Amino acid sequence: MTADPGFPGFPPGTARFLADLAKNNDREWFAANKARYQEDVVAPARAFIAAVGSRLRAFAPHVVADPRINGSLFRQNRDTRFSHDKTPFKTHLGMWLWEGELERMECSGFYLHVEPPNIMVAAGLYLFPKPLLHAWRESLANPRHGPALARAVDEVRAAGPYNVMGEHYKRIPPGYAAPPELADWLRYNGLYAGIELPMKGTLESAGFLDLAVEHFRNLAPLHRWLVDMTRRVGG
């Protein structure tokens, strides 16, 4: 793998900052280290988003790569209003590039999660909002869309040791049916696949962009099926 001229890899400071934040998760520490956050987390994350977005368009032509915070770069502070965990900051770096006409978190997309000592590379849709949950269940019974999903999942699994996730319900919801070979998918309330990688020797590598793109490309069949489903819902 070779270095991309627009992204040479994350600096060592990215992992150091996240590890330090996990030990010092309070507003005073974060304020005192805001310059580190901007230099070692925000700046390289934005460069990665721009570089990977350009590469993703080869197989996800309408992908959105928005380097702003609350665009493709998730905000670091947590919403603690309804959480028992009152720590103010996330201890991971999250990046999201989505494709579709719905709201960004209602679209399928590509996700990078950096949290020492590991990285997760994933694609799909974590949680179906109500209209998409109905469309998902209806798609499984469709004679074209149901088998196309099975083929997409098989293609992803054949490409590498990817985990396909999203199973939520213990039982098949009442009022829905699917062919026997697809019925278990009715217990899912989201659909995504990914792989966890060790951060050491990976994140800072000059070839990290190539590695991420390779995994995203392998996960793309599932993403494309979901983009097609959301397109039908969005009109």
Helix axes 208-234, 145-159, angle to 10 degrees: 170
Evaluate whether the domain defined by 12-234 bears CATH number 2.60.120.
Answer: no
What is the rounded CA–CA span in Å between residue 123 and residue 158? 16
Give the start-to-end residue ranges of the domains of the chain.
12-234
What tens digit of pLDDT does each residue of 117-130 get?
999 999 999 999 99
Return the DSSP state at 38.
I
Tens digit of each residue's pLDDT (9 = 90 or more) over 169-185: 999 999 999 999 999 99
**Least confident interval from 1-5, 44-48, 135-139, 175-179:** 1-5
Specify the pLDDT at position 80.
74
Pairing of strands 93-99, 188-198: unpaired
User: What mean pLDDT comes out for the span 227-233?
Assistant: 92
For residues 99 and 135, give the distance between their C-alpha atoms in angstroms, rounded to a whole number: 17
Asked if pLDDT for residue 109 goes beyond 80, the answer is yes
CA 106/CA 38 separation, integer angstroms: 28
Rounded to two decimals, the pTM is: 0.94
- Of the pLDDT bands very low, low, confident and very high (cuts 50, 70, 90), residue 132 is very high
DSSP E strand stretches across the chain: 93-99, 108-115, 118-125, 163-167, 188-198
